Structure 1
Amino acid sequence: MSIHMQQARRALRGKPTTGTDASLWARIGYWAGLSVVQLLVFEFVVAATWRGLYSYRTNFISELGVPFCGPTGNWPCSKLYVLADVSIALVGVALVVAAVAWMVTGVLDVRGGVLLAVAGLGAVVAGSINQGLNYSVHSFGATLMFVVGSLGLIVAGGHRSLHGSVRITVTTLGWIGLAASLCFIGGHNFGLGIGTIERVVVYAILVATVVLAVAHRRTARRLRILDTAAGSEADESADTYSPDERPVYGSTNADRHRGPIGTNDR
C-alpha cells in the first residue's frame, strides 16, 4: 500500500498528516476545490450549442448531457453533450479528492469529509450515466450529490480552523443548498422554474467548495503546512549535523578536505 493511501486511511481515523507530505496534500486540496468551477464553463458552452433554445430557468443541467431530445426523442441536442457528462463527473472526482486532502491535513473532520466524498461519488454516477441511459440511476446520483453534499458543507463550515466569516458563508450556502434540494425533489419551483431551483443547489455547492479551498489554503499557510520540502530538509540537516560535520552541497570530497585557499598549494 502506498504512503498516500496509508495517510488517507489514517485521516479516516482522525489522524492528520504533518510535515512535507501535508504540504502536498494541501496543494492537492486547493486545486481540486478550485477545479469545480469548470462545470460553469462547460455548462455555458454546451448550452450555447444545444438544439433550439436551452433555458437555464426551465431545463435541467443534466439535459445538456443527453445526446437526443425533441418530441420523438431522435433530434440531436448538442454534439458536445459528452463534455457536459464529463464535466459533471469531474466535479464529483474533485469533491472526493478535495475531501480526502482536507481530512489528511486536518482542516476537515471525518464527518464532513465522508459526506463530501459520498456527494462526489453521487456526481460521478450522475455524470457517468446520463438520464437518457438510465433515469433512475442518474437521478439517484444527482440526489446524493445535492442532499449529502449540502449536509457535508454544513458540517465542513463549522470546523474550528475556519474564520467566522467563512464559517457563516459556507454554512449558509449549505443550508440554502439543502433547502433548494428538498424543493427540487418535491417539484416546487415557486414560479422560478425547476432549472433555477436545481442551479441554486449546484451553484451553492460549487461556490462553497471554492470558498473552502481558498480558506483551507490560507489556514495551511498560517499553520506553516505549506513550508517547502527544501526548507524541511534544511531543518533536518541542521538537526542531524554539527556545524563542523554539516555537508557542503555542491562540492567534492576533495574540496571538503582542503584547508583555506592556498594552504595546500605551498
Structure 2
Amino acid sequence: MTTAAKRPTKPEAKRPTSNTIARSAPSRSGFVAHVARWAGLSVVQFVLVEYIVSATWRGLYSYRNNYISELGIPFCGPTGNWPCSELYVLLNASMVLFGLAIAAVGGSWYIVRRIDGRAASFFVVAGVGAITAGVVNQGVNYPIHSFGATVFFIFGNFGLVIAGGHPSLRRSIRVAVTALGAVGLAGYFAYMSGHEFGLGIGSMERIATYALLVGVVVLSVSQFNATRAPKTVDETA
C-alpha cells in the first residue's frame, strides 16, 4: 500500500472528531451548571443595596411605612428638598439584577433539571417583571412600573410554590419553600388590598419581596451540590 492511499482527503481531515464534540458539550453544560449554582444566591445583593440607598434618603426613610419603589425615584421636588436619595439609580439597577437572577434561575435550573417547566416559566416571567420595574421607575411611568412589580410578586412567589414540589428536594426544603411562596403571595395581596395588620404598608410589601428572595436563596443552598457540575445532575429527577 502506498503512502498516498493513507492520506486523508480534505473533507475527512476537516470533519470534527467525536472527541472534539464530546469536549464542547460538557463545556456548555458546565457553564449552565455554574449559572444554576450561583444565580439564586446573587439576589442577596438587593437587601444590601436597599439598605445603602435608604440610609442616604433625605429625611427619615421607614421600612415600615415607605414603599420600596420610593427609593428609586429621582425627583426630589420642585425645589430639591423633598425626601429622596441621590443614589436612587443603585436601587433601580439592583432591581434589574434581581430580575436577571430570577430569570437565570428559571432557565438554568430547568436545563439541569432542578425545577420543572412550569416553575421555570414562572421565574422567567417574574424576572422580566422585575427588570421592567427597575428600568421604568415609579417617577417615570407609574402604571408600567406597577405592572412590572405586580408580575414580579405574583409569578415569582407562585414559582416558589411550584418549585417547592420538585422531587429532588428534601421534605423539609419542600415545606419551607412552598410556605415562603404562600407567605409572599399573602403579603402581596394584603399589600394590594391596603391591609397592613398593624405592620405598615411598607412592611407588607417587603413580606412579598423578602419571602421570594429568601425562598430563592433556600432553593439555591439546598441545590448547591446538585448544580456543581453536569455529572452530578440526576437525570431522573
Which residue in 1 is equivalent to 2:184? 177
Indicate yes or no: 2:30 matched with 1:23: yes
Indicate yes or no: 2:100 matched with 1:93: yes
Structure 2: tracts of 5 or more residues without a match:
1-24
| Residue 89 to residue 127, structure 1, CA distance change in 2 (3 Å) | same
| Residue 36 to residue 221, structure 1, CA distance change in 2 (3 Å) | closer
RMSD: 2.0
Which residue in 2 is equivalent to 1:36? 43
Which residue in 2 is equivalent to 1:260? none
TM-score for both structures, normalised by structure 2: 0.83
Amino acid at match of 2:166: H
Amino acid at match of 2:95: I
Give the one of 208, 211, 214 matched to 1:201.
Answer: 208
Q: What whole-Å deviation, never above 9, does each CA across 1:127-161 have from its counterpart, x for those lacking one?
A: 00011111111000001111111100000010011
Identity of aligned residues (%): 51
Q: What whole-Å deviation, never above 9, does each CA across 1:238-265 have from its counterpart, x for those lacking one?
A: xxxxxxxxxxxxxxxxxxxxxxxxxxxx
Amino acid at match of 1:175: A
Which residue in 2 is equivalent to 1:167? 174
- The Cα of 1:72 is off from its aligned counterpart by 7.7
Which residue in 2 is equivalent to 1:225? 232
- The Cα of 1:219 is off from its aligned counterpart by 2.5
- Contact 2:30–2:230 (Cα < 8 Å) also in 1: no
Q: Secondary structure at the match of 1:219?
A: coil
1:129 and 1:164 map into 2 onto residues whose CA distance is 39
Structure 1: tracts of 5 or more residues without a match:
1-17, 227-266
- Contact 2:112–2:230 (Cα < 8 Å) also in 1: no
Indicate yes or no: 2:170 matched with 1:156: no
2:27 and 2:221 map into 1 onto residues whose CA distance is 20
TM-score for both structures, normalised by structure 1: 0.74
Which residue in 1 is equivalent to 2:145? 138
- Contact 2:187–2:205 (Cα < 8 Å) also in 1: yes
Give the one of 128, 135, 142 matched to 1:121.
Answer: 128
- Contact 1:27–1:217 (Cα < 8 Å) also in 2: no
- Contact 2:33–2:228 (Cα < 8 Å) also in 1: no
Amino acid at match of 2:116: D
- The Cα of 1:27 is off from its aligned counterpart by 1.3
Q: Secondary structure at the match of 1:21?
A: helix
- Contact 2:92–2:135 (Cα < 8 Å) also in 1: yes
Indicate yes or no: 2:72 matched with 1:65: yes
Give the one of 103, 112, 116 matched to 1:105.
Answer: 112
Give the one of 50, 53, 58 matched to 1:46.
Answer: 53
- The Cα of 1:221 is off from its aligned counterpart by 5.1
Give the one of 178, 189, 196 matched to 2:196.
Answer: 189
2:149 and 2:139 map into 1 onto residues whose CA distance is 14
- The Cα of 1:74 is off from its aligned counterpart by 6.3
